[in-house]
Structure 1
């Protein structure tokens, strides 16, 4: 049985769980800025829940300054 973090999600499930629109996920895939994904067939996109969680955690910010991430600021404190 799969662990919850290793659950395989479709873009629709990612949208339902994380409230990120499917078309935005598509744009992120195209630009290479989204979460890691799998493409087992030409029209099939899948995500691991753990990969989406890691991608979201890496995008944490405490300021609008794009050069500062939350982890860098908290480490300096």
Structure 2
């Protein structure tokens, strides 16, 4: 079984080579990769979801 790896917004930005603010805009317009909201402010991305999003060409 594969381990699920969650990334913070900063880690996701580094991983995708995008800025944190651009990922935030994608969240706002619901056009980016899937994400989880943890509490009121914390955002987490599942690494596998980022991989799927990047390979689908949805940048």
> In which range does the TM-score fall when normalised by the shorter chain?
0.7 to 0.9
Root-mean-square deviation (Å): 1.4
TM-score normalised by structure 2 residue count = 0.87
Which of the pair has the greater relative contact order for Cα pairs under 8 Å at 6+ separation?
2
What does residue 32 of structure 2 align with?
A: 34
The structure richer in helix per residue is 1
Moved over 3 A (4+): none
Task: Structure 2: give runs of 5+ residues left out of the alignment.
Answer: none
**Structure 1 gap ranges (5+):** 61-77
Structure 2 contact 16–50 (Cα < 8 Å) conserved: no
Q: What count of residue pairs does the alignment treat as equivalent?
A: 57
| SS of residue in 2 equivalent to 1:47 | strand
SS state at 2:45 partner: strand
